[in-house]
Structure 1
Amino acid sequence: MRNLKRIGFIGQGKLARGLSALFHESYPNAEIQVWSRSDINKPLKYWSTNTPMRDMDVDLLILAVNDSEIASVARQLAEHTLNAKLVIHCSGNLGVDALSPLASQDCALAAVHPAFSFTGAPVKRTDFAGATVCVESLRGHQPFLEALFSPFAAKLIFSEHISRAQYHAASVMASNLLVGLSHAAQDLAMESGMTAEHAAGLVNSLMLNTLQNIQSSSAKEALTGPIKRGDIATIEKHLAALEAKPEVRNVYTSLSTLISELAHDNNATAQQLRELLAK
């Protein structure tokens, strides 16, 4: 894919900014252009000259828009004759059938979800290396897609037999909900009397350490703390301390119930913990 000459993006949010920087680094000789998702005939200047979509000849077209907009954008694109070799959308929740309005076009179609947290900052290949990319292609084209993403050192998973909703829920739990857990833990630490700086340091270092332990062994092996020990007295103190924060308490009890089963294989200790956490 080193002969990739023109790359087009529709969308201008965090995903488009991050991916366009990644493609720019990986394909430095390629012309990259970004169009507004609100009107694909009104181009935005990026690294190339402004060109209306109807006149744009791209090798790769990436739809970096919200899930709810993908089908609409695909229908708009279907009104033009596309010269793209490949058109992809980047939703984790939708399959390649979201691009079905383009099925009559002479190009490959794929759903390509990079399981990566795009914050809007430029993404470098060193940042992206090792990230999982979940791919579903309407007409195969596996070698073509593997070649396209090979400069990124990503892990491609071809997902024709994967439930997209469950896969995406897992991704959200591992990324977005982790942010919520961090926020709740830092708030709780500050309520204990810690400064914001110390609370952030506590939570960030613990999360990083735990993730490293999971990566080097497994979730079960990485588990420590009162649930692992079956320390009823300590857990009772935690629950009492969280009485005034019902939403955080619900998170604590739900996750504690899950890890009690992981730690104790549904034995008597797990049952005792479930009964305590259900109160």
Structure 2
Amino acid sequence: MQSLNIIGAGRLGKTLGRLWQENGVLRVQSIYNRSLESGRAASRFIGAGNAAESLAAMPAADLWLISCIDSEIGAFAQQLAASDLIDHSTLVFHCSGALSSEVLKALKPALTASAHPVHSFAKPETSLETFAGTSVAIEGDPRAGQILSAAFAAIGGEILNIDPSNKSLYHAGSVIASNYLTTLMDLSLQSFAAAGIERDRALRLLAPIVSQTLQNNMTLGPEKSLTGPIARGDIATVSAQVESLAAVDSQLALCYRHLGLACVELARRGPLSDESAAKLIELLSEPTR
């Protein structure tokens, strides 16, 4: 079994490390985190690996995962390149969705790649149970891609090969569907709160319709899933909602109007008439008073 060192074993690094360790895919050998205690906690979660006080204190390994924040990946690549810990057969990869393997170019002639799991690692304990079926976008050196494809497939990943020049667009799609969905939920809860409906009750209210909407989108696609006042051209209702939100929070109203404009464009692919669309665009484009 090949050895794996992890630089920055946070929620993603801990989850992947444990999945690979428990499934006999890769042997987690050494972990370097911001603090020694954090590294030890990651080691306990993974069930393997020794926490290192510094990068220099880590032993050589077959594979290295740099899973720190995006802005630090290049710097760690430079440090690793300046060490005697890698050679041409070493594979170094990161899991950033926004960056390509180009950020690891200082490590050449080592094998380099990026592998981004389209998964929310908010709670590692949950991710251990739900990771199977996750798509993993991989690009980089062909041999590195083969090795990582096999490693991720062994823990249930579905491999997606991607052009590195499209990483930013690809990642933006993931962000909109995941991070922005979470933000939309918060905006919805703010609106309910302004209406005097407490948070737990609002969440219970939203659960069925949000779940059904998600299912509709996955099976029917957005065009056939859109309902509500914009989809049916109900200008009076949209106008009343804009005014109500503006009276409570101008930022909330601004979000409603901007999302509404995108909603109009989606509705135009359905039965919404050009006349209704034009009126809605005019209404939603007006500055919030």
Would the aligned equivalents of 1:10 and 1:62 in 2 still touch at CA under 8 Å?
Answer: yes
User: Which of 62, 66, 73 is the matching residue for 1:59?
Assistant: 62
Matched, 1:115 2:110: no
Unpaired runs of at least 5, structure 2: none
Instruction: State the match for 1:254 in structure 2.
Output: 258
Instruction: State the match for 2:205 in structure 1.
Output: 202
- Deviations 1:126-170, CA, capped at 9 Å, x for gaps: 401222211111345443222111123222211125522222222
Distance 1:160 1:118 in 2: 24
Distance 2:50 2:185 in 1: 43
The SS at the match of 2:197 is coil
CA gap of 1:32–1:175, structure 2 versus 1, over 3 A, is farther
Would the aligned equivalents of 2:17 and 2:28 in 1 still touch at CA under 8 Å?
Answer: no
User: Which of 274, 279, 282 is the matching residue for 1:272?
Assistant: 279
Would the aligned equivalents of 1:33 and 1:44 in 2 still touch at CA under 8 Å?
Answer: no
Quote the offset at 1:124 in angstroms.
4.6
Matched, 1:89 2:98: no
RMSD across aligned positions (CA): 2.5
Would the aligned equivalents of 1:230 and 1:273 in 2 still touch at CA under 8 Å?
Answer: yes
Would the aligned equivalents of 2:6 and 2:30 in 1 still touch at CA under 8 Å?
Answer: yes
Distance 1:209 1:135 in 2: 31
Would the aligned equivalents of 1:10 and 1:36 in 2 still touch at CA under 8 Å?
Answer: yes
Q: Aligned partner of 1:25: which letter?
A: E
Distance 1:120 1:112 in 2: 20
Matched, 1:33 2:40: no
Matched, 1:12 2:30: no
CA gap of 1:36–1:142, structure 2 versus 1, over 3 A, is closer
Would the aligned equivalents of 2:153 and 2:159 in 1 still touch at CA under 8 Å?
Answer: no
Distance 1:188 1:69 in 2: 38
Tell me the TM-score normalised to structure 2 length.
Answer: 0.85
The SS at the match of 2:174 is helix
Q: How does 1:113-152 map to 2 (within 5 A)?
A: 113-124=116-127, 126-152=129-155
Q: Aligned partner of 1:227: which letter?
A: I
Instruction: Give the aligned length.
Output: 272
The SS at the match of 2:31 is strand
The SS at the match of 1:73 is helix
**Hey, which of these two has a bigger chunk of helix by percent?**
2
Q: Aligned partner of 1:278: which letter?
A: S
Q: How does 1:166-177 map to 2 (within 5 A)?
A: 166-177=169-180
Tell me the TM-score normalised to structure 1 length.
Answer: 0.87
Distance 2:70 2:6 in 1: 15
CA gap of 1:123–1:104, structure 2 versus 1, over 3 A, is farther
Q: Aligned partner of 2:98: which letter?
A: N
Instruction: State the match for 1:48 in structure 2.
Output: 49
Would the aligned equivalents of 1:37 and 1:73 in 2 still touch at CA under 8 Å?
Answer: no
